[in-house]
Chain A
C-alpha cells in the first residue's frame, strides 16, 4: 500500500472538506455582527430577527467547520511527521499562536453569544459576536502565515537537516500573505453574500417575510459586489507574484509549455498530458504578459524550460504539477468569479430599483448561484496546493521526504475510509439542517412569530 499516495489523498479530502465551511464562517459571522450592531443601535426587532435567523445558519456551519479543523492540526504530526520534524521550528509557531490568539477567542465568545442572550447586556452580547469575527479573522491570518512559508519559505536557515527560524518578522510579513490574506477574507465575504442572496431569493420568490429578506439581499448583493471585485484584484496580485515565487505553477495553470515573450493567454488548450502533445490551442497574444507585467511584453517561462532548470538544480525527478488539474481549476475559479461579479451587480440593481416584478426570473437564479463560491473556493485551494507539487516546502522539501515513516499503508487506509464515512454522514446532516432552517425562515429562529404558526416551531426552538 502506497503510504505517500494515501496520505496525500487523505490530506486533500480532509482539507477540501474543512475549507468548504471556513469561508462561510469567515463571511457570515461578519454579516451577523452587522445585523446585531444595527439591532443594538436602533432597537428594531427586525434586526434581532435577522441576527437570529442568519446566526442559526452560521452556527450549523461553524460547528462542522471547527471540528474538522482539529483534524488538520493533528494530521501534520500523524501523516506528515517528517515534514513536522523539518519545519516544526517555524511552522509550529503560527499554529500554536493561532490556537492561543484565535481559537480560544472564537470558541469562548461564541459560547457566550449562543447562550448569553438573556444573561448579559445588549452591548456586551454584541461585543461577543464581534470578538468571534476578530477571532476567525486572526485565525485565517495565522494559518496563511503558516501556508505562505510552504509556498515561499523565508526567514530560516538549514541546520542539521532541518529548518531553523532566523527571522520571525520575515515569516510574518512573507510576500504571499499580502495577497492571500485579502483573497481569502474577501472569498469568505463572497461565499456569505451568495449564500445570503440565495436563501433570501428563495423566500422573496415565495413572498415570505419580504421586509426581512429585502434587507438581507440588499446587504448581501452590495457586499458581494465589493468582495467579488476584491477577490479578483487580490487574485491578480497573486498571479503576478507567481512569476517571482512559483513560475512552474503559473506555466501549468496556463498550459504554457514553451517560454514566450510576449506571452499569450490561453482561451482554450486541450492536450495530452502524457505525450505533451497539444491538440487544440487558442491563445490571445501578449495577454499573459500584460496580466503579469502590466504591459504587453515580458517573458513568461514555459513548463518544458522550467522542468530542465529544476532537473539541473534539484536532480532528476518529476517537477511538473498535473497541468490539466491546474488549468481547469484556474478557469473554473476565474469563471465563477467573473460570473459572481455580474450576478451581484444585477441583484443589487434589481433590489435598489425594486424591479422584482419585471426581473423576477433573475431572482430565481440566485438559489443555484450559491454553488459558485464553493466551486471557486475549492478550485482555488486545489490550484494553490496541487500547484506546489512536488514540494511540501517550495524548493526545499519534497513530498516523499515529508510523509510519516512510522505509518503503515493499512493504518492510513483505515483512517481514510473512516474519514470518508464520517464526513459523508456529517455533510448529509449539515445540508439537511441548513435546508430545513433556511427554508423555514425566521419562524424557527425567533420567539414572537411562534404564535401564528405553531406547527412549524419545534419545542426546542423557543428561547
Chain B
C-alpha cells in the first residue's frame, strides 16, 4: 500500500472517530432544550458529555491538521472553496464550547438560557454543515484545472447535500439520545429512551432514501467494488440490529449499534471517494486525488511514523476517560460539575 493510500485511510479514520464521538455530543446538544425540562435536568444532560466533548472535538482538529500535512491541495481547495459553511461551523463550535464552560457559572436564568441556546445552535450548525461539505466532496463541485473551487456558496446547498444534512442530523440525534439513555437516570432516562424508540423508523427510512438518491444522482453506481458495497451494507445491518436491541430494551447495545452506523456512513463516503479526495463536476481530470493533492514522500513518511506511535496512545487514554466516567450522571444538583 502506498503512503498516499495509508494517509487517505488515516484521515478517514480521524473523521470517523470525530463523527462517532462528537456525533453523540452534537446529538445531545441538539436535544438539550427539548429533553431538559428544568435547570437541573439541563445541567445533567450537559454533564453527561462534560468530561468528553473537548477531547472529542480534537478529532476534528487532528483531521484538519492531517489533511493540511498530508494533502495540502485538498486542504486548500476544500477550506477556501467551502468558506462560508466552514465559517459557520467555526462560529458554532466556538459558541458551543464556551457555553459548556460558562453556562452554570451564573444563576441568572437569562444567562443560562442564552448559553443553552448556544449549545443547541452550535451543535446544530456543525451537524448540518459538515455533512453538506462531505456530501459535496462525493457529488462533485466545480473545480477548475488549477484546483480552484469556482462555484459560489449556493452551489453547495443542492438537494443532495441538503438531504445528506437531514439524514446526518436525524442520525446524530438518534445517536445522542441512545447515549443519554445509558448515561442518565429516572425521568431523563425514560425521555431519552422515548426519543430513541420514536426516531428509529425515521432514521431507517431517511438513510434508505439517502442511499437511493446517492445512487441516482452521483457516479457512485459506476464505482462499485468490494469496500464501497460492504460499508453501506454493514451500516444498514447496524441500524437494523439496533432495532432488535431496542425491542429487547438493551440500550447499551443500541448505542454500540448507532456508533457503528455512524462509522459506516462516514467510511462509505470515503470508500466511494477513493482514490479521489474531491470530485470536479467540470472535468473528471480536474478532480483532486491522493496523488495530485499530496505532500512529498518525506513528509508522508515522517507523519506516518509519528502517527503510528502516538495515535494508539491517544486511543488508550481517551478510552480510559470513558472508563472513569462510565457511571450514569445522577440528577442530584449538588453532584453536578458544570
Q: A residues touching B (Cβ–Cβ < 8 Å)? A: 59-60, 62-64, 66-68, 70-71, 73-74, 76-79, 81-82, 84-85, 87-93, 95-101, 103-105, 107-112, 114-116, 119-120, 159, 164-166, 168, 404-408, 411-412, 414-415, 418-419, 422, 426, 429-430, 433, 436-437, 458-460, 462-463
Contact of A460 with B43 in the complex, beta carbons under 8 Å: yes
CA distance A408 to B150 in the complex (A): 11
Q: B residues touching A (Cβ–Cβ < 8 Å)? A: 43, 47, 50-55, 57-58, 60-62, 64-66, 68-73, 75-81, 83-84, 86-87, 90-91, 93-95, 97-98, 100-102, 104-107, 146-150, 152-153, 295-296, 298-299, 302-303, 306-307, 310-311, 314, 317-318, 321, 324-325, 333-337
A73, A114, A168: the one contacting B337 at CB < 8 Å is A114
Closest to A408 in B: B152
Mind listing 16 A-B residue pairs with CB under 8 Å? Answer: A60-B101, A60-B102, A82-B76, A85-B76, A96-B66, A96-B68, A104-B58, A108-B317, A111-B51, A111-B52, A168-B298, A406-B148, A414-B84, A418-B91, A436-B105, A459-B107
Closest to B40 in A: A459
CA distance A90 to B70 in the complex (A): 10
Contact of A164 with B69 in the complex, beta carbons under 8 Å: no
Give the chain B neighbours of A430 by CB distance below 8 A: 98
CA distance A63 to B52 in the complex (A): 14
Contact of B90 with A103 in the complex, beta carbons under 8 Å: no
| Contact A111/B321 with A103-B58, A168-B302, A429-B98 known, Cβ cut-off 8 Å | yes
Contact of B98 with A64 in the complex, beta carbons under 8 Å: yes
Contact of B153 with A411 in the complex, beta carbons under 8 Å: yes
Contact of B303 with A93 in the complex, beta carbons under 8 Å: yes
Give the chain A neighbours of B69 by CB distance below 8 A: 88, 92-93, 95-96
Contact of B302 with A93 in the complex, beta carbons under 8 Å: yes
* Seed contacts A74-B90, A99-B58; 4 additional CB < 8 Å A-B pairs: A70-B90, A76-B79, A84-B72, A406-B83
Give the chain B neighbours of A85 by CB distance below 8 A: 72-73, 76, 147
Contact of A68 with B94 in the complex, beta carbons under 8 Å: yes
Q: A60, A85, A91, A105 — which one has the most chain B CB atoms within 10 A of its CB? A: A85
Q: B57, B79, B81 — which one has the most chain A CB atoms within 10 A of its CB? A: B79
Contact of B97 with A66 in the complex, beta carbons under 8 Å: yes
Give the chain A neighbours of B104 by CB distance below 8 A: 458, 460
A64, A79, A96, A463: the one contacting B62 at CB < 8 Å is A96
Give the chain B neighbours of A112 by CB distance below 8 A: 51, 321, 324
Contact of B83 with A415 in the complex, beta carbons under 8 Å: yes
| Contact A95/B68 with A101-B310, A116-B324 known, Cβ cut-off 8 Å | yes
Give the chain A neighbours of B95 by CB distance below 8 A: 422, 426
Closest to A86 in B: B72
Contact of A107 with B54 in the complex, beta carbons under 8 Å: yes
CB distance from A176 to the nearest CB of B (A): 21
| Contact A104/B76 with A96-B303, A165-B298, A422-B95 known, Cβ cut-off 8 Å | no
The 7 tightest CB contacts between A and B, nearest first, are: A88-B72, A77-B79, A92-B69, A63-B101, A81-B80, A96-B65, A92-B68
CB distance from A71 to the nearest CB of B (A): 5
| Contact A95/B83 with A67-B93, A81-B77, A166-B298 known, Cβ cut-off 8 Å | no
Contact of A79 with B54 in the complex, beta carbons under 8 Å: no
Contact of B52 with A99 in the complex, beta carbons under 8 Å: no
B61, B318, B325: the one contacting A70 at CB < 8 Å is B61
The A-B contact count (CB < 8 A) is: 240
Please classify the interface of chain A as helix (H, G, I), strand (E, B), loop, or mixed, using the class held by over half of its residues: helix
A91, A111, A429: the one contacting B55 at CB < 8 Å is A111
| Contact A67/B295 with A88-B75, A104-B314, A115-B50 known, Cβ cut-off 8 Å | no
Contact of A60 with B79 in the complex, beta carbons under 8 Å: no
A99, A114, A165, A408: the one contacting B299 at CB < 8 Å is A165
CB distance from B156 to the nearest CB of A (A): 12
| Contact A115/B325 with A89-B72, A436-B106 known, Cβ cut-off 8 Å | yes
CB distance from A72 to the nearest CB of B (A): 10
Give the chain B neighbours of A98 by CB distance below 8 A: 65
Give the chain A neighbours of B107 by CB distance below 8 A: 458-460
Contact of B321 with A84 in the complex, beta carbons under 8 Å: no
CB distance from B148 to the nearest CB of A (A): 5
Give the chain A neighbours of B70 by CB distance below 8 A: 92, 96
Give the chain A neighbours of B100 by CB distance below 8 A: 63
Contact of A89 with B295 in the complex, beta carbons under 8 Å: yes
CA distance A405 to B66 in the complex (A): 22
Contact of A100 with B298 in the complex, beta carbons under 8 Å: no
A63, A77, A93: the one contacting B98 at CB < 8 Å is A63
Contact of B324 with A120 in the complex, beta carbons under 8 Å: yes
CA distance A265 to B146 in the complex (A): 49
CA distance A418 to B321 in the complex (A): 35
Contact of B150 with A406 in the complex, beta carbons under 8 Å: yes
CA distance A405 to B333 in the complex (A): 52
Q: A74, A404, A408, A436 — which one has the most chain B CB atoms within 10 A of its CB? A: A74
| Contact A77/B325 with A89-B299, A422-B91, A460-B43 known, Cβ cut-off 8 Å | no
CB distance from A89 to the nearest CB of B (A): 4
Closest to A116 in B: B324
Give the chain A neighbours of B51 by CB distance below 8 A: 111-112, 114-116
CA distance A419 to B107 in the complex (A): 27
CA distance A84 to B67 in the complex (A): 11
